[in-house]
Chains A and B, each alone.
Chain A
């Protein structure tokens, strides 16, 4: 949740022992402080937990923070300060890399909301199960024929190329649906503090829907990759 910054236990500056409360630099001696451990990626950039992000604004925030914490700026400082800058800089780079891309951004958000560490598992979209089974069969036949009777493999290759296009289209469609949910999520996020039980449920089902879309997308991406490899081997 937001507001964690305030609830962080106050601790002491490693250098001058004065009280610090989650600031990046000590007020008294201006030494760099270890990264507050509980800040999520959104909080690190001081932006709301939204899925629609202004990328230019994010980049500006990232550059501004990089200019404060990058290890290049601590080359002449103590080992302790170097280590802290390395840690904060690493977190910053990871946070920016994750939020910059809409897919990794939504994956991160889902994990954050669920408190999960693991990746979202890949799952075949239920309506495609039969088609995918068939595709695997065609792929297997194609592999065999390519070795034994290359001329007969050509027909199967045509089918596979068609499938390749269909899967790519499906991925695009899944992504479109996913991105359309972004604004719904953002609106829900803005009023989640005062949400009724019903609205809470709404938020959870929104997350579930996005998770399913991600699962299906990951599955189809792997399948498409497999097809691409198989078909490019040929040429």
Chain B
């Protein structure tokens, strides 16, 4: 069975990890880099993802997009703030899903996330030397159903079966549980690039039970950066009379400068920001840590109310919390640490790299699903109440927030008019009394009812939230006992048909992707055959003559040379040549030591 990897699909950076003999490990690229910037760019050659795309933010802001995660599972009306700052235009498809315009391409957030996932998948395949088909992908705990579904869709479009969606703080807690043997009541404070989560968990005898979760899917490092960008833009306007907001390239320079300064201020007291204003002038400014903290402190303060609510929902107080774990790059900021320490009245932990801990946890969960780790079990909760619209637009809650998942609720539906043949059901998620203040998830229709007097039909609808936190609906006619098919139409998401089409398109689009994958596969195969041949040369040292030996060695070095290049056809060719050159050696080895039944096999086919 091929490996299941754990992927942290982050707002700012993505990471992938795997289990190596009971230890989760981060997968790095050839240069030893773990983080893949969640940035996507396009040029005439095709899609560019990661570090190179991030560089293009400064040079080609009009064809580069970042922080796509903030758009996942949302409608255009939800992202008015982001829309102002995005370097590229956002439009809406009639189905309520956002589209991002990059040059002449229009892509939905799941398609863009799929491009990141493909890059991640490729890195894992290159590193592990095998094809990756299944993954565990993490999401913020406070993600709603649409956002989770969008993440699952992204995986599917990228050619990955998402075996499980796991909440980021929970994943982090798994990593601390396995590697640091943390026990008791644990609060996980996760402030990432775009989202904030707080989860209160109880860890006992290998069971990781989430008691409550809360958060804000609109609060993270991006928002802190935006504050500082606004500050710089205003100062430049005041000083030089230039409004740089319209200049996409300048905005990206400012973004990169303030982000750098923000990072630096986690350890230093002062950082410098340098932005070219026009040909004649350059804006230069010393930013003190205290100044920065002053301008963002209300945002940090916004994390406190969710912490209070989460404790209340868990029926605990700060005193009951044994350990506090920090997750996400933004928790490196001293101000965040101070506020967390004050709130929980204890020193928070950050022994495991806050950028990597979520991916490590995802790899652990992947191993649990694969049947590797057997003593750990995760019991997570649904972050938001699920309900349906009843008379007068009132929300009738079927599954309250913080219910352990999987969970289900049954509801009986009937008709209001004689002869009515269908009933409409509208599903919402949220904590408010009226559905209009909550999040519309989906609508569906119970149709094909027998025409009966009003109130006679009895349709039982079963709402199940699975272990991914995703809703499944089924319906049964209690009078006739027949199952009703329910086609749920998501309010902010892709239908099944959309996803299918996108998978097809991604294959068409992905000619260059295909080339890349063929190259990786060829390289991996070359690696394997080279290794086998080397071993055989040692074993068969005395069996072959010097000419034979020289021929094999020459073919080996030819293959090594091709492997360093990017032409997968050449690599294949030389693999075949090496195969031919080693037939004699293989035969000799067989004859001398193996059963004759294995004759005529090539090295690459040997176990």
Which residues of chain B are within 8 angstroms of A90 by Cβ–Cβ distance?
406-408, 464
| CB-based contact B466/A97 at 8 Å | no
Pair B370/A75 contact, Cβ less than 8 Å? yes
The reply on B342 being an interface residue by CB < 8 A is: no
* B518 close to chain A: CB less than 8 A: no
Shortest CB distance B321–A (Å):
19
Select the stretch in A64-72, A139-147, A187-195, A210-218 that faces chain B: A64-72
B379 contacts A86, CB within 8 Å?
no
Asked whether B377 lies within 8 Å of A67 as measured between CB atoms, the reply is yes
- With an 8 A cutoff between CB atoms, is B369 at the interface? yes
Task: Check: B212 CB closer than 8 A to any chain A CB.
Answer: no
Is B467 close to A, CB under 8 A? yes
Do B377 and A75 touch (CB < 8 A)? no
Is B352 at the interface (CB under 8 A from chain A)? Answer: no
B207 and A66 form a contact (CB under 8 A): yes
A-B contact pairs, 14 of them (CB 8 A): A63-B204, A70-B377, A70-B379, A71-B406, A75-B164, A75-B369, A75-B371, A86-B467, A90-B408, A90-B464, A93-B405, A94-B408, A97-B404, A97-B407
Does A33 sit within 8 A of B, measured CB to CB? no
The contact string, 1 if C-beta is below 8 Å from chain A, for chain B 464-477, is: 10110000000000
B244 CB contacts on chain A under 8 angstroms: none
CA distance A72 to B207 in the complex (A): 13
Closest 4 CB pairs of A and B: A93-B404, A90-B408, A75-B369, A90-B406
Determine whether the beta carbon of A86 is less than 8 Å from that of B377: no
Majority SS at the chain A contact face: helix
- Given A63-B205, A66-B207, A66-B377, answer yes or no on A72-B404 (Cβ-Cβ < 8 Å): no
Q: Give A56-95 interface residues, CB cut-off 8 Å to B.
A: 63, 66-67, 70-73, 75-76, 86-87, 89-91, 93-94
Distance in angstroms between the alpha carbons of A72 and B406 in the assembled complex: 11
**A41 CB-CB contact with B under 8 Å:** no
Chain A interface residues toward B at CB < 8 A: 63, 66-67, 70-73, 75-76, 86-87, 89-91, 93-94, 96-97
Q: Are B377 and A93 in contact (CB under 8 A)?
A: no
Is B403 an interface position by the 8 A CB rule?
Answer: yes
| Cβ contacts under 8 Å, A73 to chain B | 377
Chain A residues near B369 (CB, 8 Å)? 72, 75-76
Per a CB cutoff under 8 Å, which of A63, A66, A86 touches B464? A86
Cβ of A34 to closest chain B Cβ, rounded Å: 14
A97-B210 Cα distance, complex, nearest whole Å: 12
A93 to B464, CA, bound (A): 12
Q: Residue B368 at the A interface, CB < 8 A?
A: yes
Interfacial residues of chain B within 436-483, with CB under 8 A of chain A in the complex? 464, 466-467
Q: A87-B408, A93-B405 are in contact. List 13 more A-B contacts (CB 8 A).
A: A63-B207, A70-B377, A71-B466, A72-B164, A72-B377, A73-B377, A75-B163, A76-B371, A86-B406, A91-B408, A93-B407, A96-B404, A97-B404
Give the residues in chain B near A91, CB-CB below 8 Å: 408
**B134 to A, closest residue via Cβ:** A75
Closest to A91 in B: B408
Measured CA separation A94–B164 after assembly (Å): 21
- What residues of chain B lie closer than 8 Å to A66, measured between beta carbons? 207, 377, 379
Distance (Å) between the CB of B466 and the closest chain A CB?
A: 6
Residue on A with the closest CB to B466? Answer: A86
* Residues of the B chain whose Cβ atoms lie less than 8 Å from the Cβ of A96: 404
Task: Judge if B516 is at the interface, Cβ distance under 8 Å.
Answer: no
Give the chain A neighbours of B404 by CB distance below 8 A. Answer: 93, 96-97
Instruction: Name the interface size band of chain B.
Output: 20 to 34
Q: For B368, list chain A residues within 8 Å (CB).
A: 72
Task: Please list the residues of chain B having a beta carbon within 8 angstroms of any beta carbon in chain A.
Answer: 163-164, 204-205, 207, 368-371, 377-379, 403-408, 464, 466-467
Chain B residues near A93 (CB-CB < 8 A): 379, 403-407
Q: What residues of B have a CB within 8 angstroms of the CB of A89 in the complex? A: 406, 467
Determine the distance from Cα of A86 to Cα of B164 in the docked complex, in whole angstroms.
Answer: 14
CB of B43, distance to nearest CB on chain A (Å):
40
Chain B residues contacting A76 (CB-CB under 8 Å) are: 369-371
In the assembled complex, how far is the CB of residue B223 from the closest CB belonging to chain A, in whole angstroms?
Answer: 25
Complex Cα spacing A166 to B592, Å = 95
Q: Which residues of A contact B163 (CB under 8 A)?
A: 75
Closest to B402 in A: A97
Shortest CB-to-CB span from A117 to chain B, Å, is 8
On chain B, the residues within 8 Å of A72 by CB distance are 164, 368-369, 377-378, 467
Residue of B nearest to A93 (CB): B404
By beta carbon, the residue of chain B nearest A117 is B412
Q: How many angstroms from the CA of A96 to the CA of B381 in the assembled complex?
A: 13
Report the bound CA distance from A36 to B135 in whole Å.
Answer: 33
| Chain B residues whose C-beta falls within 8 Å of the C-beta of A63 in the assembled complex | 204-205, 207
A residues near B405, Cβ cutoff 8 Å: 93
Q: Give CA–CA (A89, B404) in the complex, Å.
A: 10
Given the complex, which residues of A lie within 8 Å of B378, measured CB to CB? 72
In the bound assembly, the distance between CA atoms of A66 and B467 in angstroms comes to: 13
Residues of A contacting B370 in the complex (Cβ-Cβ under 8 angstroms): 75-76
Contacts of A97 in B (CB 8 A): 403-404, 407
Residues of A within 8 A of B379 (CB): 66, 70, 93
Question: CA–CA, A97 to B407, complex, Å?
Answer: 10
Q: Least Cβ distance of B164 to chain A in Å?
A: 8
CB closest chain-A residue, reference B375: A67
Q: Which one of A67, A91, A93, A97 has the highest number of Cβ atoms from chain B below 10 Å of its Cβ? A: A93
Q: Which residues of A sit under 8 angstroms from B406, Cβ to Cβ?
A: 71, 86, 89-90, 93
Q: How far is the CA of A72 from the CA of B379 in the complex (A)?
A: 10
Interchain CA distance A73-B466 in the complex, whole Å: 14
Compute how far the CA of A89 lies from the CA of B466 in the bound complex, rounded to whole angstroms: 10
In the assembled complex, the Cα of A73 lies from the Cα of B464 at a distance in Å of 18
Q: Which residue from chain A places its CB closest to the CB of B315 in the assembled complex?
A: A101
What separation, in Å, do the CA atoms of A110 and B472 have in the docked complex?
30
Residues of B within 8 A of A70 (CB): 377, 379, 467
Task: Output the least CB separation between A233 and chain B (Å).
Answer: 15
- Which chain B residue shows the least CB distance to A86? B406
Q: Tell me, rounded to whole Å, the shortest Cβ–Cβ distance linking A161 to chain B.
A: 20
Residues of chain A contacted by B464 (CB below 8 angstroms): 86, 90
Closest chain A residue to B205, Cβ basis: A63
Please give, as numbers and ranges, the residues of chain A lying within 8 Å of B467 by CB-CB distance.
Answer: 70-72, 86, 89
Smallest Cβ distance from B194 to chain A, in angstroms?
28
Once bound together, how far apart are the Cα atoms of A76 and B161, in whole Å?
A: 13
B406 to chain A, nearest CB (A): 5
By a CB distance below 8 angstroms, the chain A residues around B407 are 90, 93-94, 97
For the complex formed, measure the closest distance between the CB of A79 and the CB atoms of chain B, giving whole angstroms: 13
Residues of B within 8 A of A71 (CB): 406, 466-467
* Distance of A170 Cα from B387 Cα, bound (Å): 31
Distance of A234 from chain B, by nearest CB (Å): 18
Q: Which residue of B lies closest to A104 (CB)?
A: B400
State in angstroms the CA–CA spacing of A70 and B379 once bound together: 9
> In the complex, A197 Cα to B91 Cα: how many Å?
72
A70 to B377, CA, bound (A): 8
B377 to chain A, nearest CB (A): 6
CA distance A134 to B121 in the complex (A): 66
